[in-house]
Amino acid sequence: MKLSCLQENLSRGLAIVGRAVSLRSVLPVLHNILLATDQSQLKLSATDLSTCITCWLGAKIKEEGATTVPARLLVDFVNSLPPEQIDLELVTRTQTLHLKCARTEANIKVIDAQEFPLIPTGIEDRKITLQPDALRQMIEQVTLAAATDESRPILTGALADFQEEKLTLAAADGFRLSVRSAPLSEPVPEPMKVIIPARALQEVGRVAAEEGEPVEMTIPSARNQVLFHLAGGALGGPIEVVSQLIEGNFPDYKQIIPTSYNTRTVVDSKEFLRAAKIALLFARDAANIVRLQMTPGEGEPGSLTLAATAAEVGDNVGQIDATIEGQAMEIAFNGRYLIDILNAIDSAQVALETSTPSSPGVFRPVGDEDFVHVIMPMHISR
């Protein structure tokens, strides 16, 4: 393998794929990034066997070939080079990659490309096209509810449910649930449900947001993976994120979303978020408990009161105007969860539907029918 490319491009490409490099790994080669010539471009790939990121960048190929290079050293080295042309050459005899840029040279030990896992690339005919901004928001709103703790692996993923002209994404960590649906540009040939690791989706969201390109999605026929393809990356070539799917049955989330409420509280999202942030300062040392009190107004606007107390810190009470339908009530939530959801909503107002202090609270952005978020309250009564 022998090629030249620009330092800025290589550096950018390494930054894109570098996020998939395994931190602690069972195979030594997973600490490496794959470099391969591919149709007169340089292909970079990294994977932790759960998420794979591949990107292609413009390069002058003199000799075809492939190898893998330790990620950390390569990234740090390339980032410290001047923005000029880099020449790369694989010396097969010594199993080293020779790099030369301006007046700096280096030889880095490689591992044979044969040892690198086979990462599927290329989009198939049966694909679904998603718009980047909608996709990014959808992923952000849904994955915030996914579990980070591995004790129930299935909850570390998000369910993607394709039905005709609609995609529904759902995630839950055992205490909260996010469900968001989006229309598809064309109907899917057959209904399909897969569970995608939340971390992979977040990578897709990040790349989609950075590149601003539509994302094509395909599920290769073996149905073990899902592949996201962005055609025109800033580097001149496509970017792909491939994720292993999670096996198993996702819990039936639909039955968790309450169908009725006793109190519906509509407030300004920003004000709610600010009040929640202040309350959390005080709730941090007290299990993050933030108490919400809904008081309907008699002829005047009602109010939503947020209160938090911590033994060593003090206490805080904040009040915001609210339109309240139904009866007065009190309920407590984990303040962290409140902030997570309010941060992810961009509508001016949010509605909170509640029934009893121990039944789920439902958050809906006002004017957006496609998103619903459910949080279980904290138990404060006897």
Q: Which residues contact another protein (rule: CB under 8 A)?
A: 24-27, 29, 49-50, 115, 117-118, 150-154, 156, 172-177, 197, 223-225, 244-248, 251, 256, 286-287, 289, 309, 311-312, 332, 334, 358-360, 374, 376-382
Q: How many CB atoms lie within 10 A of CB 270?
A: 14
Minimum CB distance to another protein, residue 225 (Å): 7
Minimum CB distance to another protein, residue 108 (Å): 20
| Residue number, 116 or 211, with CB nearest to another protein | 116
| Residue number, 132 or 361, with CB nearest to another protein | 361
Residue in the structure block whose two tokens are 């570390």: 156
Minimum CB distance to another protein, residue 6 (Å): 32
| Residue number, 39 or 255, with CB nearest to another protein | 255
Query: Angle 160-181-191 (CA atoms, 0-180°, nearest 5)?
Result: 45
Minimum CB distance to another protein, residue 121 (Å): 14
Minimum CB distance to another protein, residue 30 (Å): 8
| Residue number, 58 or 251, with CB nearest to another protein | 251
| Residue number, 7 or 218, with CB nearest to another protein | 218
| Residue number, 122 or 183, with CB nearest to another protein | 122
In whole angstroms, give the CA distance from residue 38 to residue 308.
58
Nearest to 88 by CA among 112, 105, 111: 105
Minimum CB distance to another protein, residue 162 (Å): 18
Minimum CB distance to another protein, residue 115 (Å): 5
| Residue number, 9 or 54, with CB nearest to another protein | 54
Q: Report how far apart, in Å, the C-alpha atoms of 365 and of each of 33, 231, 258, 339, 348 are.
A: 42, 32, 16, 14, 8
